[in-house]
Structure 1
Amino acid sequence: MRLIVMLLLLLFIAGGVVLGALNADLIGYDLGFARVQVPKGAALLAVLALGWILGGLTAWLGVTTRHRRERRRAEKAVGTKASKTP
């Protein structure tokens, strides 16, 4: 399993290097308060990484809140059963 993960990681790193090399020309971004000139490949990889991180964060928060809600319901159900027992 580790070998497959390592091979996939190397494949994506090689793809990123190729993407950066083929898109080396500079493009400008006007952010309103600053102007930035970055290589097109770096901008693409940065946006890809940002999207990956935000997507993972969104998925993690969704799972975490669902588990928290289920745990509260379970604790509430256990608490009501315990209070009914003489």
Structure 2
Amino acid sequence: MRLIVTLLLLLFIAGGVVLGALNADLVGYDLAFARVQVPKGAALLSVLALGWVLGGLTAWLGVTTRHRRERRHSAKAQGAKVPKTS
């Protein structure tokens, strides 16, 4: 299993390198407070990584919120004191 994960990781790294090399021309972004010029490949990979992180964070928060709600509901059903979490 570890070998498969390592091979997939190397495949995606190689794909990222190829993507960056094929999209080397600069693209300008005006962010209202700064102008940035970055290669197309770097911009694409950065936005892809940002979307991956934000999607993972959203999924994690949704799961932990659901577990907290289920714990609270089962504690009320058993008549136990519900611990207050922030």
Does TM, scored on the shorter chain, surpass 0.5?
yes
2:30 is matched with 30
1:48 is matched with 48
Could you list the runs of 5+ residues in structure 1 that have no partner in the other structure? Answer: 81-86
- Counterpart Cα distance in 2 of 1:65 and 1:41: 36
Alignment of 1:14 onto 2:14: yes
- Counterpart Cα distance in 1 of 2:16 and 2:2: 21
Could you list the runs of 5+ residues in structure 2 that have no partner in the other structure? Answer: 81-86
- Counterpart Cα distance in 2 of 1:60 and 1:4: 25
Root-mean-square deviation (Å): 0.8
1:84 is matched with none
Q: Larger radius of gyration, structure 1 or 2?
A: 1
TM-score by length of 2: 0.91
Paired residue type of 2:33: F
Aligned length: 80
Runs of 4+ with >4 A deviation: none
- Counterpart Cα distance in 2 of 1:15 and 1:76: 51
TM-score by length of 1: 0.91
Structure holding more helix per residue: 1
Alpha-carbon deviation of 1:70? 0.2
